[in-house]
Amino acid sequence: MWMILFVPNSFDLGVIFKRGGNMPEKELNVKLIQSPDDPIRILYSAARQCYSKDFVGDYNDINYEKAKKLIKSIIKSGHISIIEHLNYTFAIEGISRSESHQHVRHRIASFSQQSQRYCNAANNNNEFNYIIPPSIKNNSEALEVFIKTMMYINEQYKYLTKILSRDIDNGEKVNQDARYVLPNACETKFVTTMNASSLMHFFELRLCKRAQWEIRSVAKKMLNLCKDNCSVLFDMCGPKCKKLGYCPEGIRSCGMMPTE
Ligand SMILES: Cc1cc2nc3c(=O)[nH]c(=O)nc-3n(C[C@H](O)[C@H](O)[C@H](O)COP(=O)(O)OP(=O)(O)OC[C@H]3O[C@@H](n4cnc5c(N)ncnc54)[C@H](O)[C@@H]3O)c2cc1C
């Protein structure tokens, strides 16, 4: 109830919806900006060097079909250190700070995230971009509360920026403290690099139905991009039940797989 009280009087949801595309809701965008040119060669060379007296650096002609068979059998046997030689770099935008907070918990990865210190959150329309969860988007009552709250925060963020700018003659220092009022819904962008082993683990956890919808949709897009680069490896990736053949989540299981 208290939230209704501090929403600006000028607020009119109809006006916001009529603006359509101008709403600062941001769509998910995942791009693979760096991937191995010849992943099979890398995997095959790493695998063969373990068993061969030869120097794999001298291999010129690789039988790709034979190489794929060897790679599959090694990965199925669980000797997956060879896949650490494959590195993938993604540029991701249109995600919430909530998603990025979950994403950066994956420590076997490198991250470079847009700073709310160096970048003021306001877009060209002087509003911060945000992500709307589907459960809220599909519920008109919840959506109204959500958008009113975003509008209110936006106004207060701008106002706070203005107040702080009176005393602080430094944009970064203003941004770094004004950002404390920004919500989890606030849109962010980052670049991340992971090796294929870390990615496989990420997919096991984040494609599981227990993971939240947002990081699951990011993980799905990342996996599809990886499959385009090296299907022999990434076709084997998925939620952890795919590898285990059962679900270890006990009473929290989605029911797709037996729990034992
Ligand atoms: C459905 C779901 C719910 C979650 N809920 C919560 C929650 O409520 N609260 C919360 O805090 N987190 C939560 N998490 C996050 C979770 O606990 C992990 O932090 C996150 O999934 C990263 O997994 P990871 O540590 O295995 O991955 P990474 O950090 O990428 O590590 C990969 C693997 O490397 C090894 N490793 C990495 N660092 C170390 C280390 N320091 N010591 C030993 N081994 C290491 C481990 O084997 C680890 O599995 C949740 C995750 C999921 C998927």
Residue owning the nearest CA to atom 4 of ligand 1: 211
Instruction: Work out the pLDDT band at 216, boundaries 50, 70, 90.
Output: very high
Q: 77-118: per-residue pLDDT in tens? A: 988 999 999 999 999 999 999 999 999 999 999 999 999 999
> Which atom of ligand 1 is nearest the CA belonging to 211?
1
DSSP-based helix, strand, coil % in the chain, nearest 5 = 55, 15, 35
Query: Please, are residues 184 and 73 in contact by the beta-carbon 8 Å criterion?
Result: no
- The reply to whether 209 falls in a domain is yes
> Is the model's pLDDT at 155 over the cut of 60?
yes
Residue 219 CB-density burial (10 A; 0-12 exposed, 13-18 middle, 19+ buried): buried
Q: What is the pTM assigned to this prediction?
A: 0.91
Q: What is the rounded average pLDDT of the residues 225-243? A: 95
Q: What is the 3-state secondary structure (H, E, C) of 119-185?
A: CCCECCCCCECECCCHHHHCCHHHHHHHHHHHHHHHHHHHHHHHHHHHHCCCHHHHHHHHHHHCCCC
Q: 110-150: per-residue pLDDT in tens? A: 999 999 999 999 888 889 999 999 999 999 999 999 999 99
Closest CA to 3 of 177, 153, 139: 153
Query: Please, are residues 46 and 86 in contact by the beta-carbon 8 Å criterion?
Result: no
- Intra-chain end-to-end CA distance of the chain, in Å: 47
Q: What is the rounded average pLDDT of the residues 155-184? A: 95
Residue owning the nearest CA to atom 7 of ligand 1: 102
- The reply to whether 97 falls in a domain is yes
Between 254 and 163, the higher pLDDT residue: 163
Tell me what pLDDT residue 9 has.
41
Q: What is the rounded average pLDDT of the residues 210-231? A: 98
- The reply to whether 73 falls in a domain is no
Tell me what pLDDT residue 24 has.
75
Contacts 24+ apart (CB under 8 A), 99-107: 99/131, 99/188, 99/212, 99/214, 99/215, 99/218, 100/188, 100/190, 101/184, 102/212, 102/215, 103/190, 103/192, 103/215, 103/218, 106/194, 106/198, 106/201, 106/202
Q: Which domain holds residue 224?
A: 1-36+86-260
- The reply to whether 198 falls in a domain is yes
- The reply to whether 76 falls in a domain is no
CA of 210 to the centre of ligand 1 (A): 14
CA–centroid distance for 245 within its chain: 26
Picking from 4-13, 62-71, 151-160, which range would have the lowest pLDDT averaged per residue?
A: 4-13
The encoded tokens of residue 108 equal: 């076997």
CA 226 to each of CA 25, 39, 105: distance values in angstroms, whole numbers, following the listed order: 27, 11, 21
So which residues are the catalytic ones? 206
Q: What is the rounded average pLDDT of the residues 2-22? A: 46
- The reply to whether 57 falls in a domain is no
CA of 27 to the centre of ligand 1 (A): 27
Write the Ramachandran bin of 132: left for phi over 0, alpha for psi from -120 to 50, otherwise beta.
beta
Query: Please, are residues 35 and 229 in contact by the beta-carbon 8 Å criterion?
Result: yes
Residue 221 CB-density burial (10 A; 0-12 exposed, 13-18 middle, 19+ buried): middle
Domain of 120, CATH number, reads: 3.30.1360.170
- The reply to whether 49 falls in a domain is no
Query: Please, are residues 92 and 29 in contact by the beta-carbon 8 Å criterion?
Result: yes
- The reply to whether 242 falls in a domain is yes
- Tally of domains in the chain: 1
Residues with CB under 6 A from ligand 1: 105-108, 198, 201, 205, 210-211
The encoded tokens of residue 139 equal: 């519920």
